Structure formats: C-alpha cells, structure tokens
Chains A and B, each alone.
Chain A
C-alpha cells in the first residue's frame, strides 16, 4: 500500500500536526509521499518525495484548486490511500478528493491495522471497525491519535494549478484577546452543559475561587453566551495543562479533551458513569453537579 499524506499550512507556516501523518504511515509501515500547498522556504522535514504547490497562487484555502492538486499528486504517486488530518482543512477537502477518486472515505481514524480502520461513534462512547469495498481510500486522522514523526530533507517536485475555484478566500480573523489567560492558571474549574442553566455558572465560579483558580467552560456553554469565549477549553479554544482541572458536567468530547487532557490531575463530576471524560479523568465523581459543587465549595471555605 502506498499513501499520499496531505500536510497543512496556515498563515505562512507549516502546521506541526502535519507530522502526525508521517507518524501514522510509519506506524503502519506503509510507503508514502507527501503533499503540501505551502512555500519553498518552509519545506517539511519528511523523507522521500514532496509534491509542493505554492500557496501564493493556490492560496491557503481554495478547496477546488487544492482538490485538483491533490488528485494530480495522488496519481503521480500511485497512491491507493490519501491521508488528511481530521481538521478544518482535512474534513473540508477529504470528501472532495474521495469523490474525485471514487474512493471510500473514513473520518477521524484513531487506529488502523490490516483488517481495517477504527473510528469513534456516538461521541466516542463506541468504536466502529470498518473497511473499504473500493480500491482507493481517503482517510482523515483524529488529531493527536498518532505520534508525530519527522524525516530528513525531501526531494521536491513542484506542482502548479490554474483557475480560480468556486469560492473566494477573503482573509483570516483572529479571536479577540479576552480578560483571562487560562494557560497561566494552576487550577481550572470548567462548566459544561451539565450545569443546566446560566445561573448555575456562579457555583462553578465559586468553586474555582475556593480552589484558588480560574473558571473555564466547554463549548456549548460558551456558544450559549453563558461564559466568554476566552474561557473555552478545547481545539477551538484554549489548550491548558493546570495542576488541577475540574470538569463539571462535561461529557468529554474529543475536541474538549484535546484542550485539557495534559492537565496533571483531572477530577470530573458527572451524572453519567459512562461519560467519555472517564477516559482521561483521575477521579470521576458520579453526582449532580448542582449538589456537589456547592457542597465542595462550602467544605473548602469552612
């Protein structure tokens, strides 16, 4: 089996997560070539061949053009498998490439072997083992599921593309800086949807204060406007590793875990004993957060 690995480049930089693709190929012991829309000034450290298109012409985001380039590279490489990360870049492009190649597609692969791929289902509560019934396969890898690996200097083959594509990339927008830098906090107590209503965020704040830390939140709590975005923990928020992380009414979706699983000690409070947060937590307290948080706060203050 031969794979084409599709790296990522953003705001003029190669994304480090691209090396997880190499880690995946090495772990499976498959031959690979690498593809990147990027710049000659920042060639990734990978062994073998690198198909390189210039981001100045193909743009950092232009799905129609990137698809064309990737399909061309896959053909040149003779790749049966095209591998992306399951990221905003990868999940946008992978189905386009899969359709163009008449390939089967698997999303968010966490493990692979000769039999097939392992994928999460139902918020990671279950796992599905799947295989393709077609000759070609496109996969996206769960970010963080494979150890990054590097190589030496690649042999570069430049690719170019013409045309404008069917959508226009206007530009990037940075998140506004907020009032708090969660990265500096030693203790973070985060509110999840399990807190139930906006008024209950106060008991999470109180517990955070009693523990001498900051409060954070999972995404739905931020999306609902109960807590500002600079306090969101996860892939689309902050990545934190405090001495103590307390997850209150948080199920433990992969995008949340990616933001806090490196914390030194993780305490989770959840009414669902099977909640996936149990996979990373040191202690899972099965309780209603509305009773447990005020009781713990009172005990700490008393």
Chain B
C-alpha cells in the first residue's frame, strides 16, 4: 500500500498579525509556525494506516519555503517514511487550484492508494485543495472525515454534517480523504523518533517542475476587519476585574 499525506505549515492563530499597507499577505517575521491543525489528524491517520498494513509506504508532502522543512520533520518523527518539499518561496501567492494542481502533478504517476489532506487550512480556510486533488486525479474524495476505516481495498468514513449528524460513506481505493478535527488523537513525536527522523529522506522538488497552471483568483487586499463588536475590554489586576465583572453582571443581566 502506498500512502500520501499533504500538510501545510500555518502561523499560530494566536499571533498578532501585521499587514503592511498595500500588502496582500501578513508579515512572516516574528510568527511561530506549526502544522495546520487539520493536517495533524491527517498525518496521524496516515501513520495508523501504514502501521496496520505491513509493507505500506508513506510519503508526506508540503509546498512552501524553507521553513516548511520543520513541519515535514515533525511528520517524519510522527512516523512518515519520507518527506517531499515542493520548494516554493511564493506558495502564499498560489491559489488553491494551483496548490492542488502541483500536488496532483506530483501524485499522478506514483500510484497512491490513499491520499490524506486536512479538510481546510487554518490561515486560508478554503477547504478546496483536497477535493481538487482528487478530481484532478479522477479518484473519489471523501471529505470531512471524523472516523476512518480501511478493509478489503475499500475505505469507509463517517462524514461530519451539521448539528451532530453524520453520514456513513464508502469508496474503493485509490481515494482521497479529507480529515476533520477529532478524527483521532495525533501522537507526540518521541525523542527516539525525532532522532530517527533526522536520517529519513527529505526530497526537494522545485515547484516549476510540477506547476504550469495560472491562478484563477487575485487577492486585492488583506486587512483587519472593521471592529463591529462593541465589547467592553477590561484589563488589570484579577481582584479588580472580578469586582468589575460582578458589578456588570448585576447591572446588565438578571442572573445575579
């Protein structure tokens, strides 16, 4: 069995983002980077599938600049066999269609049985790349998986719908699965596995080798939203904050 998992590196969402005037992307200096939360579930599921199938092979792929090597190394330490960095210093300017085209071009002749992606990236939240990769490769895409099983060449997932409802769906491999939060419990890389990961293969492929497509979208601007909310912000010493909050609750709500 041949498995691929695609991961994106994203900034920590608790960061204070700085956007230069006229810029269409935030400043990258001073940000902490991590694996897209959804993709951690994808990596864990891919590693579990590899472990359940003796002889299975597992590649992790990320498109981006040099910093994405850190994300790839973490995925290797979690149990992926080899990593591929599709080197692209301007990955943030590519639209989901282009990212998906590059991934599909890489995967095209490699006979992956199962491809895992996250359901969406936290910075862009487009929820497009996974489905597009599957469509470009002409294989089924099962999206928003909160439960995954593989047996007899066929994948079964529980798709999460709204309000606690799930749909059970099935498809034969080769297929793509997009992973939703809570699919599993992503493991922490252990120290021995981090050491072992250092010896694993980390391949570099220039994006130009894979991508010919032009973008279909253009970003005009990026900015902080106008504050519509009128939240009263309280700061200071905890004891004072408690008194203020008690006062507000007494005045504005009927619960005290």
- Name A's B-contacting residues (CB within 8 A): 10-11, 61, 63-64, 86-89, 91-92, 94-96, 98-100, 103-108, 115-116, 119-134, 166-175, 186-187, 211-213, 219-220, 222-224, 229, 235-237, 239, 243-244, 251, 264-265, 267-268, 272-275, 278-287, 291-292, 295-296, 299-300
Contacts and interface: CB of A to CB of B under 8 A. Distances in A.
A89 B169 CA distance: 13
Interface string B240-256: 01110110110011111
B125 to A, nearest CB: 6
B234 A122 contact: no
B190 interface: no
A251 B13 contact: yes
Contacts of B221: 128-129
Indicate the member of B144, B162, B217 with the most A CB atoms within 10 Å: B162
B106 interface: no
A166 B135 CA distance: 11
A206 B115 CA distance: 44
Indicate the member of A105, A237, A281 with the most B CB atoms within 10 Å: A105
Contact of B234 (A87, A127, A220, A285): A285
Contacts of A229: 164
A283 B229 CA distance: 10
A269 B229 CA distance: 15
B253 A264 contact: yes
Contacts of B229: 278-281
A104 B123 CA distance: 19
Contacts of A125: 13, 17, 224
19 contacts: A10-B161, A91-B127, A95-B96, A95-B128, A96-B131, A105-B128, A115-B220, A122-B17, A123-B122, A126-B222, A167-B140, A167-B175, A168-B169, A170-B156, A173-B165, A175-B164, A236-B160, A279-B225, A283-B234
B219 A129 contact: yes
B255 A107 contact: no
A282 B232 contact: yes
B169 A121 contact: no
B142 interface: yes
A126 B161 contact: no
B143 A127 contact: no
A300 B96 CA distance: 51
A224 B184 CA distance: 9
A63 to B, nearest CB: 7
Interface in B158-202: 158-171, 175, 181-182, 185
A99 B239 CA distance: 57
A283 B231 contact: yes
Main secondary structure of the interface of A (DSSP, over half): mixed
Contact of B131 (A92, A173, A274, A287): A92
Contacts of B107: none
Contacts of A132: 216-218
B26 A95 contact: no
Nearest to B184: A223
Contacts of A300: 246, 256
A87 B119 CA distance: 12
Contacts of A106: 217
What bracket does the count of chain B residues touching chain A fall in? 35 or more
Contact of B235 (A124, A128, A286): A286
Contact of B253 (A11, A63, A265): A265
A295 B140 CA distance: 53
Contacts of B163: 175, 235-237, 239
B232 to A, nearest CB: 5
Indicate the member of B170, B175, B218 with the most A CB atoms within 10 Å: B218
A119 B220 CA distance: 11
A94 B97 CA distance: 12
A88 B224 contact: no
The 4 A-B pairs with the shortest beta carbon distances in the complex, nearest first, are A175-B164, A223-B182, A104-B216, A279-B229
Contacts of A128: 24, 219-222
B238 interface: yes
A269 B158 CA distance: 34
B110 interface: no
B141 interface: yes
Contact of B246 (A119, A172, A299): A299
Contacts of A213: 255
Nearest to B235: A286
A139 to B, nearest CB: 11
Contacts of A279: 225, 227-229, 231
B241 A292 contact: yes
Interface in B81-107: 95-97
Given A96-B135, A127-B223, A296-B246, 16 more contacts: A88-B161, A89-B161, A92-B143, A107-B125, A125-B224, A128-B24, A130-B219, A132-B216, A171-B167, A175-B166, A213-B255, A251-B14, A265-B252, A286-B233, A295-B238, A299-B242
Nearest to A254: B125
